[in-house]
Amino acid sequence: MSSPYNGRHRPAYGTSTARPSANTGPSGRHRSGKRKLGPSLVKPVSVSAVSLGATFALVQTATNTPLGEITQANAIVRPAALMMSPQTEEPKAPETTPAPSPAPEAGPPVPAAPPTATAPVTPDPEPATPAPATPAVQTPPPAPPKPVVDLSRTWNAPVTGATFTSGFGPRWGTFHYGIDLAAPLGTPLRAMSSGVVTYAGQMSGYGNIVQIRYWDGTVSYYGHMNSIAVRVGQKVQPGQFVGQLGNTGQSTGPHLHLEIRPGGGAPINPEPWMAARGLSAR
């Protein structure tokens, strides 16, 4: 018959029930009872045995079951055994020490590598110090080219070292169409600019005369000459010698009678015309 207390209490051992051996019960739960109990362990075990025995007695009376069956069914150690068996300790697992790792087997000796030749380290050359900058020389701009002067169109005085003795205009009841420049007999006379001789010879009142048409169309008259050194159609250059100062024709003394006729027309006052070309009659 199954008891409601099955598995909850151990059976109380009577006098008729044999005490199980120390190894009775589930395997590994108790050690052998050869170990002596100390005084401090006997007293609690005795108290537990008395209480457990009383409990088994109540169960036996209520169920009318022999005490031996109750103890066998619940696999409980008798109280007497509890009183005599020492308190057991749970076995401790043996401490394991990790096995040392096997030392690596020594292989064949590795031959040492031959020394490698190291190239000598050449230090980097120091950067060259730049030379101080030379200030740029300010070259002045070139001078503008001088205008090319056509010497053939320059103007020159007809005579040098002469004295102005008579001007342009009315004189002694007549009209004087030029100016008079007195100088010693034989003084050189020169062309005023480049041109062509249009007349060279004798003419009433003028005596020996030379007429020259210049490059701008102006015609000059040289009167009262002592001698003539050019001919008609001859080209002359500025300052070229054309004859000598004289006293021929209607003249009161050696001098040059000079007339200026623009374009070969009517005569004009020579002084303003000469001044416009950088020449002076006085």
In angstroms, how far apart are the furthest CA atoms of the chain? 211
Tell me: do 166 and 257 sit in the same domain: yes
Tell me: do 268 and 163 sit in the same domain: yes
Tell me: do 162 and 264 sit in the same domain: yes
pTM above 0.85, yes or no: no
Residue 144 located in a structural domain: no
Tens-place pLDDT, residues 46-92 = 444 445 555 656 655 666 656 566 555 555 445 444 444 444 455 55
183/3: higher pLDDT: 183
Tens-place pLDDT, residues 115-137 = 666 666 676 767 777 777 777 77
d(Cα 240, Cα 238) in Å, to the nearest integer?
Answer: 6
Residue 104 located in a structural domain: no
Tell me: do 266 and 165 sit in the same domain: yes
Residue 42 located in a structural domain: yes
Mean pLDDT of 24-38: 46
Tell me: do 71 and 166 sit in the same domain: no
Tell me: do 160 and 246 sit in the same domain: yes
Asked if 81 contacts 19 with a C-beta cutoff of 8 angstroms, the reply is: yes
Tell which of 47, 63, 88 closes a domain.
88
What's the total number of domains in the chain? 2
d(Cα 108, Cα 133) in Å, to the nearest integer?
Answer: 71
Q: Where residue 193 sits, what CATH number does that domain have?
A: 2.70.70.10
Mean pLDDT of 146-166: 93
Residue 60 located in a structural domain: yes
Tell which of 62, 88, 114 closes a domain.
88
So what's the pLDDT on residue 94?
A: 55
Tell me: do 79 and 189 sit in the same domain: no
Calculate the alpha carbon distances from 133 to 130, 136, 217 in Å.
8, 9, 64
So what's the pLDDT on residue 138?
A: 82
Tell me: do 63 and 176 sit in the same domain: no
Tell me: do 158 and 84 sit in the same domain: no
Tell me: do 81 and 161 sit in the same domain: no
Residue 118 located in a structural domain: no
67/142: higher pLDDT: 142
Tell me: do 166 and 253 sit in the same domain: yes
- Tell me the average pLDDT of the chain: 76
Residue 135 located in a structural domain: no
Grade residue 203 by pLDDT with cuts at 50, 70 and 90: very high
Tell which of 69, 88, 107 closes a domain.
88
Residue 67 located in a structural domain: yes
Tell me: do 172 and 263 sit in the same domain: yes
* Enclosing domain of residue 16: 1-88
Residue 36 located in a structural domain: yes
